[in-house]
Amino acid sequence: MEILGVGIDIADISRFEDKEDLAIKVLSFLEYGEYQKSSSKAEFLASRFSVKESYVKASGDKKTPYPQIEVRKEAEKPVLYVKGEKIRSFLSLSHDKECVSIVVLYQ
């Protein structure tokens, strides 16, 4: 396994409170549906935004629009998809009351 890049991002959940416009702008269609059902919208949005930031840092891909970078769950694990294709990567999402932290290892 060759690691081509590492991306790390930390976000303050409170910065994502009442950010419906941002959610519409950065989430994929599937993610937006999950966001709408979430009991903690700010935490959900913070984590997905940070995943997208981490992917860009790890891959150097600054051209893909954020809605085309998405997290899907497979066997209860987060998996990264870009433009509808599964990306060879490892993804770690961590949450507490105030922050989310994300690590993407890009292969």
Q: What is the pLDDT of residues 51-102, one digit of tens each?
A: 999 999 999 999 999 999 999 999 989 999 999 999 999 999 999 989 999 9
pTM of the prediction? 0.94
Paired with 89 in beta bridges are: 106
Q: What is the pLDDT of residues 30-58, one digit of tens each?
A: 999 999 999 999 999 999 999 999 999 99
- Are 28 and 70 a contacting pair, CB within 8 Å? yes
Rounded to the nearest 10°, the torsion over CA 60, 63, 64, 66 is: 90
- Are 74 and 89 a contacting pair, CB within 8 Å? no
